Amino acid sequence: MRDRYATIDLPVLVCWGADDAWVPAARGRELAALVPGARLEVLPGAGHLVHEDSPVELTVALTGFLGR
């Protein structure tokens, strides 16, 4: 699957918790770099479960992205 990330032709937002102890934020940066034009939002204070750890910040990031 990883080889196909470069073929994605639609807007992509990668949201990652800065304090993710299971899958470090560096992996989120790698993922975003593999998808052409992808935007990365690293959410401070959030761990692996971003939607539970930082729901307001995630909502702001998503609505901003979707509103473009």
pLDDT digits (tens, 9 = 90+) for 19-55: 999 999 999 999 999 999 999 999 999 999 999 999 9
- Residue 68, pLDDT score: 83
pLDDT at 36: 97
Q: What is the pLDDT of residue 11?
A: 97
Contact between 39 and 67 (Cβ < 8 Å): no
Distance separating alpha carbons of residues 20 and 45, to the nearest angstrom? 9
Please state, in angstroms and rounded to a whole number, the distance separating the CA atoms of residues 68 and 30: 24
Domains and CATH numbers, the chain: 2-66 (3.40.50.11320)
**How much is the pLDDT for 32?**
97
Query: Which pTM value belongs to this model?
Result: 0.89
